Every structure is written in C-alpha cells, then in structure tokens.
Amino acid sequence: MADNDLKYLEEKIGKEGFERLKRINNPALHSFLAKYLKLCNPDRVFVCADTPEDFEYIRQTALKNGEERRLATPGHTIHFDNYGDQGRDKKNTGILLPKGKKLDEAIETKDRDTALQDIHEVLKDIMKGKEAFVCFFCLGPTNSIFSIPAVQLTDSSYVAHSESILYRPGYEEFVKQGPNARFFKFVHSQGELDERKTSKNLDKRRIYIDLEEDIVYSANTQYGGNTIGLKKLAMRLAINRGSKEGWLTEHMLIMRINGPNNRKTYFLGAFPSLCGKTSTALLEGENIVGDDIAYLRKIDGVVRAVNVEKGMFGIIQGVNSKDDKYQWEALHTPGEIIFSNVLVTPEGYVHWIGKDGEIPERGENHSGEWYKGKKDANGKEIPVSHPNARFTIDLRMFRNLDIEALHDPNGVEVGAIVYGGRDSDTWVPVEEAFDWVHGIITKGASLESETTAATLGKEGVREFNLMSNLDFLSIPISKYIEANLKFAEGLKRVPKIFGVNYFLKDKNGQFMNEKTDKRVWYKWMELRVHNDVGAIKTPTGLIPEYEDLKRLFRQVLEKDYSFEDYTKQFTIRVPEHLAKIDRIVNIYKTKVIDPLPIIFEVLEEQRKRLLEYQKKYGDYIKPEQLR
C-alpha cells in the first residue's frame, strides 16, 4: 500500500512536491494525503516546505485569486466570509462517536459511521479545478515534549496564509520525527465560491472531528473558527489525547506578571467570550505569551505550560487606543495582518465597531457595498463591521511579547491560574481559592458568564461554561474535571487558583471598577503567589487587605483607592453565593453524566460556611467584619 501511495503522490504532485514529501519518512502521512487528494481531486498540489519563497507564494496566491485584497497600509490585507458564514457553526460541528459511546448533552456529537459517509460524499471532487495546499505545522514549540506535528490539506490560500501566521512551521519537525510522528490531520475545502470569493453552499457546511483517526474535516465554509483547523478544532483532538496521557489542553491565556525586583511570574487565565481575555493577556505593563490555548504538563514536580500558537486570531470589536494600547499600536503598524469582515473605506483603510473616530459614510464590509443605515432582509440595520470581525497577526507585532517564553521548549513554570466570567452580582473582583481542589471546583468547574445584549439580544442570562472550555470538550465533563483535579497530585509547587470578576455592578447597574483596575488585581495575585502579602479569610476564599490594594492602586495606576470603594467591591454577598451553588449543583445533577461526588462535597462545604457566616454577620458581610 505504501508503494502505491508514493506512486500516486508522485504522479499527482509532480517532482518537486513529491521530493519534499519523500523527505518525510512517514507512511501514515503519505497514506492520508493519497487518500484525500484522490477523494477531493484538485488539479494542482502545492507542498509547503516552510521556505520564505513558499510562504510568499501562498500570500501572493491569496491576492491573485481574490481570497484576500491589499489594503493601504503595507502588508495589511482584507478577507471576507460569506454573510451567513461569520461564526462557529455549532449545529454542523460535531465529535464523531462510534455506536455505544456518548458524551454529555452540552457537547455536540454525531454518529461516526453516518458522519464519515456524509463528509466523504461532500468532499468528493470538491477541489476539482482548484489548487490544493499541503502545509505542515507544529502545535507548541518545536523540539519539545509539547510538540504535536499537524498537516493541513486545504484549497483555500486564505486558510493556508492564516495558519502560517498563527502556527510554527512544522515541515522539519515532520522530517525529524519521521515514522514516530503522531500527527493531527486536517482536511478543508471552501467549496464552490460566489462572485465575492466566499463559500456558496452553506447548506452543505460540515465541521467534523474524528477522535479515532485524529482527523478534522471542514467543508463549504471559510470563517476561521470553522476552517483554521489547528485552533479550536485541534483542541478537541488534544483534550482527548491529553486525557489518556496525563496532560491538559486548556482554553487559557499565558502572561507574565512582573513582580518586585524584576521577578517574573507566569499566569494562566480562562475567560469565556467577551469577558476580557485578550485585554488581560495584553495588560499594560505586563508581557503576553499567548491569548488563547495552552498545553500543560507536569515536569520535575512543577506545572509548565506552552502557547500552542505563535499568533492571534482576535476579535476586533471594541479595540480602541485608550483601552487596548498594545493591540491598537500593532494594528496600525505596517506588517503582515489579515483583517476579516471589517469595513474597508474607498481609500483602503479599515473601520470596525468601537474604533476611535467617526464611522465612515460608506465602504465595503461583510454585507457587500455598505452605507450608513443599510438594512438586512429582516429590516435590521447592518453595523459597520460584523460583531465577530477578526484580525490575524503574529505575536511578534506586539511590543510586550515575551518571545523567549513563547518559544521555550520547556514551557514556563505556572505560578497561578485565574478563572473569570461576566458576573454582575456575586463574585468579588479578585479572590484566592483555599487550595487546588477548592479552586478547580468553585472557580473553574462553577464558572458562569452573563450574556450581553450585543450578542444575544437579551442581557444578563447566566450561561454555565466550566473552565471556559465547555464548547471544546471531546471527553465527558466528569472525566475532564477529574483530570484537572488529579493534575496537582505529586507536585512540588502547586499553582494558586484565583477567581476574578471585572463586571461587578452596584444597585444602579453601574460597574464598580474601571477597566484598568485589573492591573492592580494581577499585581496583588503575583504577591500572593510568593506569600508577600496577607489576606482575609471569607467563606468563599481569600480576599485582599485594604492597605495592600490602596498601596498598589497608587503604585500601579497613580490613583487613590477609597475604603468605601473597597468595602462595596469586596463585600461577600451571601444570598447570591447560595443561589449560585444551587444553580451549579442542579446543572451537575441534571446535565452531567456520572457527576463526581467531590463536586457536591466541596460545594456543600462552601454552602455550610456561607450559612454559618450568614447567621453570625448577616446577608452582606463587609471585609472589616472578618479581620
């Protein structure tokens, strides 16, 4: 079979491309490529070996075929997705499961036999008349215990271009690992295109994840979340693999907090969408390592983590010069950036929802030709850019990048893990868990986030999203939580766990904190990691002393912090906490298969503490009462 595969590939690809494939001594790779090139049947195949000329060829092809267009700023390009292809397609995305296996109802699944038959029918001859790109990448740093090689087969030069910005080159990693490479595989076709060069047959959109073969299939879609397979789609493959091997794949940023005397402490953070994840990763005065996905391993008794990526596929809505200093600067610098689904002015500049300055009168955006007041088929006004409009950028364009940490094959030592959601009335702005188990269960596995009017049209609905990873799980929820709980076993240094809340409101519905206040919360957490400051014990965790925050507000933000504000923000809201425990317990009892008993034990212990404190201090407990 191996000889037949090589013979077919030589005929299909041509001499230069074939020689590149032959350098990789991996029959499984050759078999995979032969199978799907036969099925998809492109006219031409380009094999990328990660040379500067190869990447330039992909960039130029995206411009020539109209998937991208040049903008006025050198290096900047624009890409549009179909008007109906602007986000992750949950309905047509699924984990493929053999008969007899099942996952929790929150996780989308498909019958494996039926889905494979379906996707193979959809993919048959789908690339006919087109050029296919075979690209090799590495998830995590190369030459590392974290490295996972990945191969992408796509007929979209935009997808190939995006991935070359977002991921480390992997061709030499494949050559090095040879027959030992346990690689992830991705097959994508954008399908038939319309006159705007966007995917036409959205009714045949498919995104399937096959855990048994480590293959992701994606068809009739261009939106990055459905097509950039190495991102959230690969997360499902990695979560499944890690659960069998004792390491974790988390939907987490990695950042460096700079402590006293040039001390460097690395934090991980998990936040659902629109909860401040990217702004936290790019916090002024600190250093970014990654904004989205982390692999965690135990090495020599400590937790170490790497950023799976080297770039950012970021939401651009709301990015402005005041709140997003580093992003704003990078997005206005000449260099390789792909903007998607924003407005392009006639002069070739871009505008998006929440950008500084006046909204242009007209231009082109995700809806085609656009002008102020333009309405869709339902009479709803079309905004200047799509709320999910994006930018693809290399992290090197951010001047606060910790580049050594980004590419360290050993990863960074994790000092703390932070969980945060959009919460108007329960969690205090920052709180330390009592220990690892308490933190995983009451902060991570109990994470909720309130919807916003901008996203669903109904504000304040709490959505359960454990560890901010619910949408990407490929194993049972209980198994995932158990893996997190067990991860601390045998560690010499256990990372501290914190909960943060940037969205606490007063009785009038006003936010209690400024956006920049989070800079203080992280400085306080960094001090706590090293036991440099004390804390007040509450029934739900450990909160800051007023004097420590007062000093930090002056040092970090050069502003006063009143005792009145501290008291309002750090009051323990007992009724709200009790209601949250009821909600979470109900979810685990009714929505989760075989929930872990320890979840109910830890939450019940927290309930008892809250009731004891309530009896002694009342419903709303001020920090000064607990000193």
Give long-range contacts, CB 8 A cutoff, 24+ apart: 180-183.
181/26, 181/29, 181/149, 182/148, 182/149, 182/214, 183/26, 183/28, 183/29, 183/148, 183/149, 183/150, 183/151, 183/214
Task: Give yes or no for a contact between 9 and 30, defined as CB atoms under 8 angstroms apart.
Answer: yes
Q: Which residue has the tokens 């790109």?
A: 133
Q: What angle (nearest 5°) sits at the alpha carbon of residue 259, between those of residues 258 and 261? A: 110
Q: Round to whole Å and give the CA distance between 131 and 44.
A: 5
Burial class (CB in 10 A: 0-12, 13-18, 19+), 204: middle
Question: What is the per-residue pLDDT for 455?
Answer: 44
Query: What is the residue-wise DSSP string for 324-389?
Result: -HHHHHHHTSSS-EEEESSEE-TTS-EE-TT-SSPPPSEEEETTEEEETT-B-TTSPBPPSS-TT-
Q: Round to whole Å and give the CA distance between 294 and 297.
A: 10
Strand extents, DSSP E, 29-178: 44-47, 69-70, 76-79, 93-97, 109-111, 131-139, 148-154, 168-169
Q: Round to whole Å and give the CA distance between 610 and 341.
A: 48
Sequence letter at residue 187: V
Tens digit of pLDDT for each residue in 111-127?
Answer: 999 999 999 999 999 99
Structural domains for the chain? 2-67+91-246 (3.40.449.10), 249-311+404-626 (3.90.228.20), 313-395 (2.170.8.10)
Burial class (CB in 10 A: 0-12, 13-18, 19+), 309: buried
Question: What is the per-residue pLDDT for 84?
Answer: 87
Helices and strands (H, E) in the chain, number of each type: 20, 33
- CB contact set of 375 (below 8 Å; sequence gap of 6+): 381, 382
Sequence letter at residue 615: K
Sequence letter at residue 267: F
Q: Which residue has the tokens 């703390």?
A: 416
Indicate the angle between helix axes 597-617 and 574-590, nearest 10 degrees.
160
Report, as residue numbers or ranges, the catalytic residues. 275
Q: What does pTM read for this prediction?
A: 0.96
Q: Round to whole Å and give the CA distance between 475 and 101.
A: 11
Closest C-alpha to 413, from 494, 332, 349, 468: 494
Alpha carbon of 549 to those of 294, 391, 430, 546: distances in Å?
Answer: 30, 36, 11, 5
- CB contact set of 380 (below 8 Å; sequence gap of 6+): none
Residue 623 φ then ψ, to 5°: -55, -40
How many CB atoms within 10 Å of residue 577? 23
Task: Give yes or no for a contact between 305 and 266, defined as CB atoms under 8 angstroms apart.
Answer: yes
Tens digit of pLDDT for each residue in 571-581?
Answer: 999 999 999 99
Q: Round to whole Å and give the CA distance between 70 and 56.
A: 14
Q: How many Å is the maximal CA-CA distance in the chain?
A: 81
Task: Give yes or no for a contact between 362 and 250, defined as CB atoms under 8 angstroms apart.
Answer: no
Q: Round to whole Å and give the CA distance between 153 and 135.
A: 7
SS3 content of the chain, % helix, strand, coil (to 5): 35, 25, 40
Question: What is the per-residue pLDDT for 598?
Answer: 98
Alpha carbon of 28 to those of 176, 184, 358: distances in Å?
Answer: 15, 11, 55
**623 DSSP 8-state letter:** G
> What does the block give as tokens for 257?
């907090």
Q: Round to whole Å and give the CA distance between 90 and 222.
A: 15
SS3 318: coil
| Regions in the chain scoring below 50 on pLDDT | 453-457
Q: How long is the chain?
A: 627
Q: Round to whole Å and give the CA distance between 101 and 96.
A: 10
CA-derived radius of gyration, the chain: 25
